[in-house]
Amino acid sequence: MNWDTVYTNASQWVKEAGERIRASFQETLTIRTKSNPNDLVTDIDQEIEQFFISKIRGQYPEHKILGEEGYGDEFEQLDGIVWMIDPIDGTMNFIHQQRNFAISIGVYENGVGQMGIIYDVVHDELYHAIRGNGAYFNDKRILPLKERNVKESIIALNATWVMENHRINHELLIPLARAARGTRSYGSAALEIVYVATGRVDAYISLRLSPWDFAAGAILVEELGGVITNLRGERLDYLSKDSFFAARPGLHQEILTDYLKNGKW
């Protein structure tokens, strides 16, 4: 597969989808809920996913597609070439703020990330990586990640995980939040992971993400020397929901050893 060509095609589709999403700000959205009252989807999420699927199927009929809104394929193995698509990552922000959301597309070959794109639609900022060829912010090369310790780090972490919740003992992450220089939450996993890649934050933690949320960002972070695992320090399988932990090299190990060892994540 020529990944440069895949990138050229995908980046054109992403820009086209971005124009459509920006135009939708003038329209009335149809909003529905999914798994719970705060898990939202709009007609635009669905339209954009269908747009990408028709482009991919037209150009690459033999590839498989995993899409958040369910218009893609169903499969249980990552063999062959798989596109993982989140048409709007940060749908709540899209609805409430008309910013702080992104299109996320990661392409995997036999489970190995080959090309990732994250497009910050409102700022017209495109991040991408092709495995082995570096990562880019609007065609400007992103520098490899250097080590940094917790005390000098900003950790992206949602407040949900440090207040009582049904998923984890909320007290477990408080020492980490306290030790860090600061915490941030942006509400779009794809953007938060790309902020790790660009060094705007030093780590990002979530207790539950789906493959389409992190597929593209993981390729950028790893291309720059960062580390991606679940909160147990294990490799992600890219087929199921799991906890998620991205960080600079060194920092990843420090957080895992000093702050996450005792949790049942």
Give contact residues for ligand 2AM (rule: CB under 6 A).
35, 39, 68, 86, 89-91, 158, 187-189, 208-210, 213, 241
d(CA 55, CA 78) in angstroms, rounded, equals: 21
Distance of closest approach, residue 86 Cβ to Ca ion, in angstroms: 4
Q: Which two tokens stand for residue 206?
A: 């979530």
Q: Are 263 and 168 in contact (CB under 8 A)?
A: yes
The residue number whose beta carbon is nearest to ligand 2AM equals 189
Opening angle at CA 33, ends 88 and 17, nearest 5? 20
Q: Tell me whether residue 36 or residue 262 sits nearer to ligand 2AM (CB atom).
A: 36
Considering the complex, state which of residue 88 and residue 193 has its C-beta at the smaller distance from Ca ion: 88
Task: Please choose, out of 63-71, 167-175, 189-197, 241-249, the segment that lies near Ca ion by the rule CB under 5 A.
Answer: 63-71
Distances in Å between the alpha carbon of 106 and those of 42, 136, 165, 232, 264?
22, 15, 30, 23, 29
Relative orientation angle of helices 211-223 and 189-198, to the nearest 10 degrees: 0
Q: Which is nearer to Ca ion, 104 or 153 (CB)?
A: 104
Q: Does 86 bind Ca ion (CB under 5 A)?
A: yes
Q: What is the Cα–Cα distance from 25 to 252, expressed in whole angstroms?
A: 39
Should residue 213 be labelled a site residue for Ca ion when binding is judged by CB under 5 A? Answer: no
The yes or no reply on residue 49 touching Ca ion (CB under 5 A) is: no
CB of 90 to Ca ion, least distance (A): 7
If binding is defined by CB under 5 A, does position 242 make contact with Ca ion?
A: no
CB of 35 to Ca ion, least distance (A): 12
